[in-house]
Structure 1
Amino acid sequence: MIRHFSATFRGLPACLLLLTGSAEGLEPGFESLFDGKSLDGWKHDGNWAVVNSEIARVKKGGSLVYEKAKVPADFELRFEWKVAQGCNSGVYYRPGQYEYQLLDNANSPYGENPRQAAASLFFGMAPTKDVVKPHGEWNEGRIVCQGTVIQHWLNGEKVIDFDYSDPRWFHELEVLRIRGGDLAKRGANLSLQDHGADVGFRNLRWRAIPASEKLVSENLTPMPIPDGALRKEQERINKMLAGQKGEWRHEELKRFKAEEAHQGVAVDAEHFYAITNAAIGKYRKDSGERVGGWKETQGRIKHLNAGIVLDGKLWCAHSNYPEMPMKSSVEVFDAQTMQHLESIDLTSVGGSLTWVDRRDGWWYACFAQYAKTGDPARTRVVRFDLNWKPSAEIRFPAEMVAKFGKNSSSGGCFGPDRHLFITGHDAQELYVLDLPVEGDAWTWKTAIPISAHGQAFAWDRSAPSLLYSIDRKTKEVIVSKISRP
């Protein structure tokens, strides 16, 4: 068995994961986890062996677990790895489903989804690019973690870098949470996965990162997830969530007076932003104190509809409704200063833009049709890349269109369990939809009774169960909790 594996390893297939030779060649501050001779300090089921001074998976069994010490809370891990054709494996370095993915991207079905590709935080964060070497060749892996910052490196390039406390990554990391990952947990044993194919490693070493060495995240943008991969991922998520029981519950917590609470509301970690046709008010979340705002003075912006705060910017959907021909744009503001930054013209797409959100490296934007200007059944969500180039359209199911009546979807935002939540124009309901696994229409889930009479709303990404909506009659922003037992 070992002779066969060794010969294969030097040629085409074999998934490998780590080695470390003598301590003489180690970088300053690093500790070797493998002496190149034995598996002392490692626990396994007899399916791992030292072959040619490398750790190799030689037959079916379980993971190889380093028991000599726990992974430090703040650490840097370096290793070399090599995979067989189609191989899938991983390095687990924190408790639960928390994995640096090892993969032959070109020959594994997992490779079509960047969130499951080599160097990804598996089923969580995709790398910025694909720099993995072909199967049979050695790759250099590196994991750096300090506080809430996570970095994955591959072959000398930093391909993942994010701060998981930053609400901008809520939707991406919701996938990991559903799988069972908890970013806040610490104290795992380093584990090298046996996923049914031969794997091996070499030059494995780590160091604890001192508190004096500050790691600042660049918050790199992950690769977008292609449509086909998204649909397969959604099917997998649906299966994971299938065991959920209980109806969604709505509990109103408090209300704040806000003069601009007429079209919708946006929210970030410290403030909410009440939105009316041509003005925005910025308010403190804790006290409701108005601390800033913006007002149109040139007559260009006529009908703001909804907003979302991302990357320190407030992105607002805008249209010229009810004028014809219909025109639409995304109006961008600095969330701190409330200065208007730019206008992104989306008129060519057709329809009145009512809301925008971003997920999985794509923008999603709803273009409404009303009985006054067209057919409400033609309301649809258009997906754009990060440069606002259209890539796909997803329509609403018939039962959802019936809810619209003569109007359309006034608000929309991805929320808990990666569902799409939308509102109509007047009904006191929050509708729950899912990305389609097949076809081109959102999948209807349910309707949740709420306090607000339609209009645009926002999920608080810093407290994901909290919903911000408005009561346009009383000019109030409503804070509610949405949950299910």
Structure 2
Amino acid sequence: MKKQSLIFMIALAIIVVVSCKPKQQAAPVVSNEPAALLAEIDQSAPVNTLTENESKSGWQLLSNGTDFTGWHGYNMSGIPDCWIVEDGSFTMTTTGGAESQDIITDKKYKSFALFVEFKVDTAANSGIIYHVAEDTMYQFPYETGAEYQVVDHENWPDSLADWHITGANYAMHPPMVRPFKPVGEWNQAFLVVNGNKVTHYLNGEMVVEFEKYSDEWNVLRNSGKWSDFPDYGKYDEGHISLQNHGTKVWYRNVKIKEL
């Protein structure tokens, strides 16, 4: 066999072998962008459950519809008597409008995406607070953690500042739009904390976006309400809290994904 023919046959064999190798499937693209994370939630699934795809994507359930597994009272070992599970939802029995005995997750979180469904009673006030430090030197979670505001601003008896509207970063950043569903209807809160970047969604629309420790954040943090709270925003990891402000609010379908 001529040398040229031998070289040709070897080259042809290599091509055949390479072409017959199974192609490796590309790894699925994982995005921590808020819109992509929100799209991972199957909103047609039964309440207080995780779908197989949600579980594979890293989502975990923080509400089972029957008890407070994964939660405890702030600076307490158990659940306060004023918190109950009602029709598959966390809610409170306290009245009078004063803050009293918030609950927090057993676990601390740093960067995460959080999905929560909530509905409010008339003139109700509450909030979802994160990066909360649990310590007896503090009386309430809001002394350290930032708050996704939950309030019936439509029926509030007094005029509210724009940073007190549902979806706001309470006492810091007002919502850009107000896609709030009224008393008795379920709303969807979606919160993404990815490093210093924080995004709030309400009913599928982005309402707040900010960068922690930015010049703007520092100005807002050091003025107004938080000037009297030296440890507000101090922590970059902490518990997640549901606030009991002495009015009726319901929370369900609580799902979290660590980033």
Q: Give the TM-score band, short-chain normalised.
A: 0.5 to 0.7
Q: Distance in 1 between matches of 2:221 and 2:250?
A: 29
Please list, as runs of the form range in 1=range in 2, the aligned pairs for 1:42-53 lying within 5 A after superposition.
42-43=71-72, 44-53=79-88
1:106 aligns with 2:145: no
Distance 1:94 1:176, change over 3 A: farther
1:230-379 alignment to 2 at 5 Å? none
Partner of 1:178: 227
Alignment pair present for 1:152 and 2:196 = no
**In 2: Cα distance, 1:163 partner to 1:106 partner:** 29
Which amino acid is the alignment partner of residue 55 of structure 1? F
TM-score (norm 2): 0.67
Query: What is the SS of the residue equivalent to 1:190?
Result: strand
Q: 1:110 to 1:74 in 2, by over 3 A?
A: farther
Mark the CA change 1:111 to 1:94 in structure 2 (over 3 Å): closer, same or farther: farther
Structure 1 residue runs of 5 or longer lacking an equivalent are 1-18, 210-485
- Residues 1:116 and 1:30: Cα distance change in structure 2 (over 3 Å): same
| Alpha-carbon distance, 1:183 to partner | 2.9
Rounded to whole Å, the distance in 2 between the matches of 1:57 and 1:114 is 26
Corresponding residue for 2:214?
166
Aligned-partner Cα distance in 2 for 1:77–1:160: 15
Q: Is 1:88 equivalent to 2:125 in the alignment? A: yes
Partners of 1:58 and 1:26 lie apart in 2 by 36
Query: Using the alignment, how far apart are the partners of 1:83 and 1:154 within structure 2?
Result: 14
Q: Is 1:66 matched up with 2:66?
A: no
Of residues 50, 71, 75 in structure 2, which corresponds to 1:23? 50
For the structure 1 residues 111 and 151, does the alpha-carbon distance in structure 2 shift closer, same or farther, using more than 3 Å as the test? Answer: farther
1:37 is aligned to 66
Structure 2 residue ranges without an equivalent (≥5): 1-45, 73-78, 133-143
- Partner of 2:163: helix, strand, or coil? helix
Task: Give percent identity, aligned residues only.
Answer: 26
Contact 1:20 1:34 in 2 (8 A): no
**Structure with more relative contact order (C-alpha pairs < 8 Å, separation 6 or more):** 2
Query: Paired residues, what number?
Result: 189
- Given the alignment of the two structures, is residue 56 of structure 1 paired with residue 111 of structure 2, yes or no? no
Distance 1:133 1:83 in 2: 9
| Distance in 1 (alpha carbons) for counterparts of 2:188 and 2:255 | 12
Choose which of 238, 243, 249 in structure 2 pairs with 1:188.
238
Tell me if the contact between 1:63 and 1:191 (Cα under 8 Å) persists in the aligned partners: yes
Cα RMSD (Å): 2.2
Change (3 A) 1:50 1:168: closer
Counterparts in 2 of 1:47 and 1:100: CA distance versus 1, 3 Å: same
Tell me by how many angstroms 1:138 deviates: 0.7
CA shift, 1:93, in A, is 0.8
Does the residue aligned with 1:125 lie in a helix, a strand or coil? coil
In the alignment, which of 84, 92, 116 is matched to residue 79 of structure 1?
A: 116
CA 1:138–1:168 in structure 2 vs 1: closer, same or farther (change >3 Å)? same
Q: How does 1:215-230 map to 2 (within 5 A)?
A: none
Q: Which residue of 2 aligns with 1:290?
A: none
Q: 1:112 to 1:25 in 2, by over 3 A?
A: farther
Give the superposition deviation at 1:109.
4.6
The residue number in structure 2 matching 1:116 is: 164
How far has the Cα of 1:166 moved from its partner?
A: 2.7
Equivalent AA in structure 1 for residue 245 of structure 2: H
- CA radius of gyration, larger in: 1
* Contact 1:110 1:117 (C-alpha < 8 Å) held by counterparts: no
Q: Which residue of 2 is the match for residue 453 of structure 1? A: none
Q: Write the distance in 2 (CA, Å) between the matches of 1:179 and 1:99.
A: 16
Q: Is the 8 A contact 1:77 1:144 kept in 2?
A: yes
Is the Cα contact below 8 Å between 2:168 and 2:175 reproduced in 1? yes
> What is the CA deviation profile of residues 23-49 of structure 1, one whole-angstrom value per residue up to 9, with x for unaligned ones?
336722110011112112222211112
Distance of aligned partners of 1:208 and 1:116 in 2 relative to their CA distance in 1, 3 Å threshold = same
